[in-house]
């Protein structure tokens, strides 16, 4: 149950960051949302989003990992694998 709460907390925080960075409504951001197809992000948007996530979660996301991070849930899984908690 705690893990589910952590996921929900992380998702809510990520929604705020993504909505601010991509200038979209937070309600439009879902775990399965694709940054490019669903949220209309271009490469500059994604770069700025990654910088915001790195600042928020105190992690470094190498550029070679960016191509794998195409959805909100992929980023959440990536951050959890790096030891980030919700």
**What gap in Å lies between CA 40 and CA 3, rounded to an integer?**
30
- Report the 10 Å Cβ neighbour count for 47: 14
Indicate if 65 belongs to the active site. no
Phi and psi based region of residue 18 (left: phi greater than 0; alpha: psi -120 to 50; beta: remaining) = alpha
Catalytic residue, chosen from 42, 45, 55, 65, is 42
Tell me which residues are annotated as active site: 42
């Amino acid at each position: 149950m705690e893990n589910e709460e952590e996921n929900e907390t992380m998702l809510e925080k990520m929604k705020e960051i993504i909505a601010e960075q991509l200038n979209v409504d937070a309600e439009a951001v879902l775990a399965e949302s694709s940054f490019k197809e669903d949220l209309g992000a271009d490469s500059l948007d994604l770069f700025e989003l990654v910088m915001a996530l790195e600042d928020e979660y105190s992690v470094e996301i190498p550029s070679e990992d960016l191509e794998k991070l195409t959805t909100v849930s992929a980023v959440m899984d990536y951050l959890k694998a790096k030891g980030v908690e919700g």
